[in-house]
Each structure stands twice: as structure tokens, then as C-alpha cells.
Amino acid sequence: MRQFPLEMHQVAPGRVVEWRLRSTAAAGADGPADPTGRRASFNQDKHFTVAEESRAADDPVASWLAVTFEVAGRLDERALAQALLGFVQRHEVLRCAFRRLAGELACEPFDPAELALDAEEVGTFATSELLRGFLVERFKRSIDTLSWPLFTMGAVLREDSATVYLAFDHIVCDGMSMPIVVNEVLSAYEALCRGEDVELPSAPSYLDFADEQRRRYLSIEADDGRLDYWKSFIGRGGSFFPRFPLDLGVEPGRMYPIVNEASTLLDAADAEVFEKTCATVDGKPFMGVLAAVAVCLREAGGPGVYRGLMPVSERGRGTWADSVGWFVNTMPIEFDASPGRDFAQVMAAVRAGFTEMIGHIDVPFVRAWELLAPEEFAARSWPYPVNFFSYLDMRKCPGAERHGQWRPATHVWSARANGACSWFQRDAAGMHMNSLYVDTPAARRTMGDFQEALRLTVQEIARSGGFRRPIALTAPRRPLGTPLDVASFARRR
């Protein structure tokens, strides 16, 4: 399971059916009849506030997170609809309407028994190109942070197979929720097709997580000792947000359309060797990729000390493993990648920096941002290009043993940005990279060179055990972001 632009997905054409969620409560009701007044998480509150302010300024922001997966054989539409409805009923956050009440963002879940799905025939698409164009526009137009429901569900039906899709607003889920979606919907669908009861593990509500988080951290102030790690990071770097160190050609205060690219860094065999190479210096694969990123940024003109933000899962050891929600904290990480350091030394620095970061993970990012950088917190976006690194090992997700059959993929999209974000994924096919960055001539040059240097660097680590040569482009740059990158993935049967 990997992440790449929806525009790169080779979805076979077919007949499209969508299922629209509705409440069966009293006609005219625009929300739950008996609101609980439960409060949103810090992530959700900030996300919703940005959407409100953007709408008021007639400058709406737009983004979505989607997942697609395959069903072999002729689709049983009734069974899939039942599986989708059960999935929504099971996860309270998906049944929520969000409302601003006395300054607080309230989560008001609908009663699961009051929800129903209505099937809608969309039409038949004769080519993959037409179908992709429809899906891209559908996700853009149907996902709205300020309107319920906060996701859309559908399928592309063919005689011998189907492609199922779900697209979400970030306010109800994160990247690790996507394999949960695939595992639950397909496990339930297959059980229903066999005439069996659906059996799934416990999935505590994200609303309980959010409520506990707010009770623990809403009352802290800027002088709280739990913010000392953030303060020391700010003190050494001079700002709350660590800057992306390379030139992207952006103007202060301006947002740009984005480039969305994906490529494979290592095939399956090289990824296995890369993991073993990292283990020889007491490191994990994500540490090896982060070390390579730091060295490539340095070689391209960045500083010797890597400073960046890194999302970290808050799901805990099994507590929320099967729950859908936004279980992500974002933390600063810092380590020395100065010239002259070999692979083992940089990896030791990454390991030490990560260990220090994890020791201070309890304070939510949004709360730290609000307390330590209030002027920047009031803005609708991060103030400038920020250094950001994310890594997920999709082999460890629920249902990963079936990914070869289900062929799931994650897709992210955002209308505009002022910097660059890169996500790295490991799956059975290898190591992959998806980057979203501003569409400027400088950014295209910078990110193209960086991506190629990174690919060469991780290959060098896998094949020779470290940084054995200067990191530079030694071959013509390979095209990125073309359908060829994922065509073989999409065609597998």
C-alpha cells in the first residue's frame, strides 16, 4: 500500500455508483437531535477554524485524503453498501457534525441507528482518463470541512471486478486510518457475501481520545515545564517552525498551486537490504531515510544540523490500533549531519534525536503552537516553507497480509501551499516517496534535484552500506510523477 496522486492511478473504466449518507431523523433537522456537546481535538479545532476563517475571507482552502482498493469478481452492491454503512456506524468520528458553540468546537455524533445510505447511479465512463477526471473533481467538490457528511463513498463496477473509493476531510481521519478503512470494509464485505456475521476488533471512539486530550492540556500555560523541549528547539533555531532549507522561489504571505509527485526510491529487494544495513548500526529504516534526507539537504546547500517537523502516531500500543481518527502529534526533531560524518555517525545522531523527541511527545503540537507562537497561530497557514518528514511502514497495518490481493492505495490532494511536504512509505513492493510542493520554477528544479539525489543516496546505502561517494546527480534525472510509475501496480490481478 503506497501513496501517490490520484491522477497517476490507472483505474479501469466502468459504471460508477455512489452511496450518500443521510440521517433518518425528523425532516428539516440539520444535525443530531440530541447533541452531546463533546469537544473536538486540538487538531480538529485548528483545522475547522482555518476553514471558517478562509470561508469568511472568500479564500476557501481545500484538501482531501482518499483511499482506493480492488474487489475481485462481480460486485455485490447490497453487501458493499451494508459494509460501508456498518463502517460509518462503528466509528463515532465519522458520524459527527461539527459546530461552533460558545467558542468551542463541538462534536455532535448522529445515532448510528438513524443513519442510512442511498445509492446513486452516477454514470458509465468509457476511459480511464475520463474516470480519473471525474474522481478528482468529485473529491474536490464533495469534501467540505464545514458541511456534513465529511466524506464520500463509491465504486467503479465492471463485469469481473470493482474499484472502491472513499475520500475524507482530514478532520475525521489520518493516514494510518486508510488501511483500517480497507481492512474493515473488505473484511465485512467478504463476510456478508459468505452469509456470515461480521467480526471486528474493538475500536474505541476518537471522541474519547479527543476529550481526554483536551482535559489534560487545555489548562497548561506557556511556562509549563512540559514545553521545555519545544522552547529549547526554538531557542537554538530562532523560530517555532523549522524552515525548509532550500530555495523554492516563494514570496512571503503568498499561496501557490501545488505539484503532486510520487516515485519509488527502492524496489523490494533493495528495501530489504536497506533495512538490514540500518540494523547493522542499530537503526531502523525510517532513521536511515531521515539520515539520507538530512545529508541530501546539506549537500544541496542546507545546514549541517537537520531541523524539521515529524508527525508521530498517538495510537499507543494497541489502544487505538483499529480506530479511525486524527491520531497524530507533530514534533520537532534535531540532529547533527555535518560534513565528514559517516553513515553510522549520522544514524547515531538520528537515533539520539528521535529518542529525545519521543521523550517529550505528550504536549499536542497545536497547543504548543498556540502557546509559543501565538502570532503565527492566528494565521491560516504555516508562515513559510517548513521542513517536514513523514514515514509509514504499511506492512505493519491491519490487513497488510491481504494488500497484494486488495491493492489499496492512498491519495492526498491540496489546492494550495506555500512550501513542501514529503511522505515516505514502505510496503511489500519497496520504499516510496510522495511530495507536494509549490508550483514555481525554482521549486520544480530544487525538488527534482533533491528527489533524484535522495534516490541515489538510499540506493548507495543499500548497496554499499553507507555514504561512499559525494551525493550528486551522476545520471540524467529520471522523470517523476508520470502514470508509468504506478501502471504495473494498478494492473496487477
Span 221-491: which CATH code? 3.30.559.30
CA dist 307 and 58 (Å) reads 35
User: What is the sign of the dihedral through the CA atoms of 464, 468, 471 and 472?
Assistant: negative
Domain with CATH 3.30.559.30 in the chain: 221-491
pLDDT at 239: 96
Please answer whether residues 169 and 326 qualify as being in contact, where contact means their C-beta atoms are separated by less than 8 angstroms. Answer: no
Look up the CATH superfamily of 2-210.
Chloramphenicol acetyltransferase-like domain (3.30.559.10)
Q: In a 3-state reduction of DSSP, which class is residue 247?
A: coil
Q: In a 3-state reduction of DSSP, which class is residue 223?
A: coil
Other CB atoms within a 10 A radius of the CB of residue 177 amount to 27
Query: What global pTM score does this model have?
Result: 0.92
Other CB atoms within a 10 A radius of the CB of residue 329 amount to 20
pLDDT at 480: 44
Average pLDDT per consecutive 10 residues, the chain (493 residues; last block may be shorter): 95 97 70 67 96 85 94 97 98 95 89 96 97 96 93 97 98 97 98 94 95 94 96 97 97 94 97 97 97 97 97 89 97 97 96 97 96 95 96 95 97 95 97 98 97 96 78 45 36 37
Q: In a 3-state reduction of DSSP, which class is residue 429?
A: coil
DSSP 59-114: ----EEEEEEEEEESS--HHHHHHHHHHHHHH-GGGGEEEEEETTEEEEEEPPGGG
pLDDT at 20: 96
How many helices and strands (H and E) does the chain possess?
14, 17
Domain with CATH 3.30.559.10 in the chain: 2-210
